[in-house]
Chain A
């Protein structure tokens, strides 16, 4: 399922990052790599703050929906 549907505070394992563009590769470099863990910390109308590899990263809803967990 996309990260947008993930429950807050529960660590999820990243299965795949959708798409084949720069955005995908940028997300991967920020630590959103398949097999890694990601936890939703907070969410405001789709935009979310997630915890990945010890960093807190704010991403828009569009980007969150491309992270499959």
Chain B
């Protein structure tokens, strides 16, 4: 016989940890409420015939949040054989609230009090035997993290499953409320099984819309109104109060707390960390540290090694021989050495993958075009992306740490007030912050935002922030057209932030994103020292999904771009071309260049550069280098500055920059968007919006900029641009219609 066990409990009560322990799977666990948004299924490790379902964390069975709807529908429609209710022993009263509701479903319930080790350490005491008797179900003490007591709890659940159908809720509310509930119960349809009647009478009494629609019971409104009048409160609140009374009664003489009401260590940390004056400085310091270490120091060192070593010429193992090589280079430059030194002659030299693969291909006399494809196309393209992996892993490590220790939840709290002003929640800040390094992990970080609309909006706007790969484009434009002016780079960040704010406000006023924003209520986990294995696991989970993406979508696009740029019609026949300007990509570039003419950069090179930027943004600079006839250019493309300056006006160049900053991100990021949106429609909507937005803004920048600087006269373009600006302003400031509730809330503030 196959038995289905459902794991239910409050958010952050340890369900997923228990699920992993029971099924041996590796679901991601975070110290953040809402890690499990969908239900997950697994088989019990010791007995594969037993199915375990991990439900999302919920506070009650009212369909208030998405998680509650998912969990409730499962319990009501699938009716598992037994519910294993995990409760956080350090927060017994609140957790038992859900227990009282679960026990009404008529499905056998077994309670597992988790975090018993912490309870004991705090000096608190729970008499689980007595508690079980009063609740009418077995209660087990467990520690999901340490794995203690879980075998007993599962056995208890299996035993309880056999009593299915005979399980009766035992608790009762005050006589007055029970009287009304009995009256409602009498109106229930005959066919409802005895053990489920309690749940349905209470839900009807609470005016639960879904249950009312399903049962179509009439004449109960009078009963409810009578009760509400008598007790001067709304029906649902009456029941809630009754439950807490009942829990208070149950816990008398079976729960003892040592430090009642005192501030915990976690509270004391919060006193400082979320202090009204210190919160922002502390936050800035933490972020600076994370950013500095992962992007500027350790991360860069690792990335340089990956890019120039593993995916470049090669590297000195453990640095052996680097010093000697440097000396020899100096000697060569000073003229004392006649031959340029080869790093491979010094120390322990490990050649890079392109060198090794290129050598192998050459030795087996592989066709030249295939060598080009493998070395330049595949290894060059995929390598450029994989080169960011070490840097990202460092960043992920810190983020996993911040998340696991509990600080991440506080960041959302600290930033919420600022972000709420333009329609995003405080939880949107983290993805954008990570986006300054790389958009892919940034988009993935949006997963921690529970509210669906907020999450989608965050995914759509995160890549507006200039990521690390866009910096070379900024450097190129600043150097070539603006004499390296210091304002160009900060202005790029400003454009990014402005784009997020403008998009936030505009999108929030569209039908797709309008509606009641979830009120800002968020349970904060207690601070605790994360385990190294937990942090590493979370880092690996995020990192490996990026590597997988590099192996699929980026690999494919690298091959396609390579073929398109290296093959074409030259001298009347189709084949591999010497000059990239004869390649198919150049033809495509010329064809689409006309689209970009209104933006001021209608030459095919720019169009091709923008397209190759889709593979990886740093390609933009490299493409300019190749198309203007330089084999290899420095990161800021200093060699092509002169040529660029001749073919661009400063306004057109800035328009080009703005377009590349805001338009659809690279394929890796698009892949991440697809994954997080989990919908092709939304993915297209996101990149379509980004590209359209980028086009409009660049259009305005060029047309209005040209008119103002006098490089072009006022014309149709200027008029259209002015109309576009007015359109955007209208979208920004048009009155909100359906958001009455929101207005009420902000009015109260």
Q: Spell out A's residues near B (CB within 8 Å).
A: 9, 11, 17, 20, 22-31, 33-37, 39, 41-47, 49, 51-63, 65-66
**Contact A60 B416, beta carbon cutoff 8 Å:** yes
**Contact B523 A61, beta carbon cutoff 8 Å:** no
Out of B261, B275, B413, name the residue touching A39 (CB < 8 Å).
Answer: B261
Q: Spell out B's residues near A (CB within 8 Å).
A: 59-60, 62, 64, 90-94, 97, 234, 236-237, 240-241, 244, 261, 263, 266-267, 270-271, 274-276, 279, 409, 412-414, 416-417, 420, 519-526, 745-746, 748-749
**Contact B240 A49, beta carbon cutoff 8 Å:** no
Out of B60, B266, B520, name the residue touching A47 (CB < 8 Å).
Answer: B520
Can you list 23 A-B contacts with CB-CB less than 8 angstroms, sorted by A residue number?
A: A25-B62, A28-B237, A31-B94, A37-B261, A41-B271, A42-B275, A42-B276, A44-B279, A44-B413, A44-B417, A46-B417, A47-B416, A54-B92, A55-B523, A56-B270, A56-B523, A58-B409, A58-B413, A58-B520, A59-B521, A60-B417, A62-B519, A62-B749
Shortest Cβ distance from A42 into B: residue? B274
A2 to chain B, nearest CB (A): 10
Instruction: Please judge, given known A-B contacts A44-B279, A53-B93, A57-B522, whether A62 and B274 are in contact too, CB under 8 Å.
Output: no
In the complex, A66 Cα to B62 Cα: how many Å? 21
A29 to chain B, nearest CB (A): 4
**Contact A54 B749, beta carbon cutoff 8 Å:** no
Q: Inside 8 A of B420's CB, which chain A residues have their CB? A: 60
Instruction: Please judge, given known A-B contacts A54-B90, A58-B413, A61-B749, whether A25 and B270 are in contact too, CB under 8 Å.
Output: no
B425 to chain A, nearest CB (A): 10
Q: Inside 8 A of A17's CB, which chain B residues have their CB? A: 237
Q: Inside 8 A of B409's CB, which chain A residues have their CB? A: 58
**Contact B244 A33, beta carbon cutoff 8 Å:** yes
Instruction: Please judge, given known A-B contacts A45-B276, A61-B749, whether A26 and B521 are in contact too, CB under 8 Å.
Output: yes
Shortest Cβ distance from A18 into B: residue? B748
**Contact A20 B521, beta carbon cutoff 8 Å:** no
**Contact A46 B749, beta carbon cutoff 8 Å:** yes
**Contact A57 B237, beta carbon cutoff 8 Å:** no
A53 to chain B, nearest CB (A): 4
Out of B237, B266, B521, name the residue touching A30 (CB < 8 Å).
Answer: B521
15 A-B pairs besides A47-B413, A49-B524, A58-B520 with CB distance below 8 A are: A26-B519, A29-B97, A30-B94, A31-B94, A42-B275, A44-B275, A45-B276, A54-B93, A55-B94, A56-B523, A57-B524, A58-B412, A59-B520, A60-B417, A60-B749
Instruction: Please judge, given known A-B contacts A28-B240, A29-B59, A45-B417, whether A23 and B519 are in contact too, CB under 8 Å.
Output: yes
**Contact B276 A29, beta carbon cutoff 8 Å:** no
Shortest Cβ distance from A34 into B: residue? B241
Out of A30, A37, A47, name the residue touching B523 (CB < 8 Å).
Answer: A30
**Contact B276 A43, beta carbon cutoff 8 Å:** yes
**Contact B267 A51, beta carbon cutoff 8 Å:** yes
Shortest Cβ distance from B272 into A: residue? A42
A35 to chain B, nearest CB (A): 7
Out of B91, B237, B417, name the residue touching A54 (CB < 8 Å).
Answer: B91
A14 to chain B, nearest CB (A): 11
Q: Inside 8 A of B274's CB, which chain A residues have their CB? A: 41-42, 44, 49
Q: Inside 8 A of A66's CB, which chain B residues have their CB? A: 748
**Contact B59 A30, beta carbon cutoff 8 Å:** yes
Out of A23, A34, A41, A54, name the residue touching B270 (CB < 8 Å).
Answer: A41
**Contact A11 B519, beta carbon cutoff 8 Å:** no
**Contact B62 A29, beta carbon cutoff 8 Å:** yes
Shortest Cβ distance from A44 into B: residue? B276
**Contact A25 B94, beta carbon cutoff 8 Å:** no
In the complex, A27 Cα to B59 Cα: how many Å? 10
**Contact B263 A9, beta carbon cutoff 8 Å:** yes
The list of the 8 closest CB pairs from A to B, nearest first, reads A54-B91, A60-B520, A56-B524, A53-B94, A58-B413, A42-B274, A62-B748, A31-B94
Q: Inside 8 A of A44's CB, which chain B residues have their CB? A: 274-276, 279, 413-414, 417
B206 to chain A, nearest CB (A): 9
In the complex, A20 Cα to B235 Cα: how many Å? 10
**Contact B261 A53, beta carbon cutoff 8 Å:** no
Out of B59, B60, B524, name the residue touching A58 (CB < 8 Å).
Answer: B524
Q: Inside 8 A of A24's CB, which chain B residues have their CB? A: 237
**Contact B237 A25, beta carbon cutoff 8 Å:** yes
Q: Inside 8 A of B244's CB, which chain A residues have their CB? A: 33, 35-36
Q: Inside 8 A of A42's CB, which chain B residues have their CB? A: 270-271, 274-276
B96 to chain A, nearest CB (A): 10
Instruction: Please judge, given known A-B contacts A47-B520, A49-B413, A55-B523, whether A25 and B749 are in contact too, CB under 8 Å.
Output: no
Q: Inside 8 A of B267's CB, which chain A residues have their CB? A: 41, 51, 56
A15 to chain B, nearest CB (A): 12
In the complex, A37 Cα to B94 Cα: how many Å? 12
Q: Inside 8 A of B416's CB, which chain A residues have their CB? A: 47, 58, 60
In the complex, A47 Cα to B261 Cα: how many Å? 21
Residue from B91, B271, B274, B746 having most chain A Cβ neighbours under 10 A: B274
In the complex, A59 Cα to B518 Cα: how many Å? 11
Instruction: Please judge, given known A-B contacts A29-B59, A49-B413, A54-B92, whether A63 and B520 are in contact too, CB under 8 Å.
Output: yes
**Contact B526 A22, beta carbon cutoff 8 Å:** no
Q: Inside 8 A of B275's CB, which chain A residues have their CB? A: 42, 44
Q: Inside 8 A of B746's CB, which chain A residues have their CB? A: 62
B589 to chain A, nearest CB (A): 51
**Contact A54 B94, beta carbon cutoff 8 Å:** yes
B408 to chain A, nearest CB (A): 12
In the complex, A22 Cα to B279 Cα: how many Å? 31
In the complex, A23 Cα to B748 Cα: how many Å? 14
A41 to chain B, nearest CB (A): 5
**Contact B413 A33, beta carbon cutoff 8 Å:** no
Q: Inside 8 A of B59's CB, which chain A residues have their CB? A: 26, 29-30
In the complex, A50 Cα to B59 Cα: how many Å? 17
**Contact B520 A33, beta carbon cutoff 8 Å:** no
Shortest Cβ distance from A25 into B: residue? B236
In the complex, A49 Cα to B240 Cα: how many Å? 23
In the complex, A56 Cα to B264 Cα: how many Å? 10
In the complex, A27 Cα to B87 Cα: how many Å? 19
Q: Inside 8 A of B526's CB, which chain A residues have their CB? A: 56
**Contact A62 B745, beta carbon cutoff 8 Å:** yes
Shortest Cβ distance from A22 into B: residue? B64
In the complex, A33 Cα to B242 Cα: how many Å? 10
Shortest Cβ distance from A56 into B: residue? B524
Q: Inside 8 A of B263's CB, which chain A residues have their CB? A: 9, 39, 41, 51
Q: Inside 8 A of B748's CB, which chain A residues have their CB? A: 61-62, 65-66
Q: Inside 8 A of A47's CB, which chain B residues have their CB? A: 413, 416-417, 520
Q: Inside 8 A of A43's CB, which chain B residues have their CB? A: 276
**Contact B234 A20, beta carbon cutoff 8 Å:** yes
Q: Inside 8 A of A45's CB, which chain B residues have their CB? A: 276, 417
Q: Inside 8 A of B522's CB, which chain A residues have their CB? A: 57-58
**Contact A63 B241, beta carbon cutoff 8 Å:** no
Shortest Cβ distance from A20 into B: residue? B234
Instruction: Please judge, given known A-B contacts A34-B241, A36-B244, A44-B414, whether A57 and B523 are in contact too, CB under 8 Å.
Output: yes
In the complex, A51 Cα to B412 Cα: how many Å? 18
In the complex, A49 Cα to B746 Cα: how many Å? 19
Shortest Cβ distance from B91 into A: residue? A54
In the complex, A7 Cα to B144 Cα: how many Å? 37
Q: Inside 8 A of A20's CB, which chain B residues have their CB? A: 234
In the complex, A29 Cα to B92 Cα: how many Å? 14
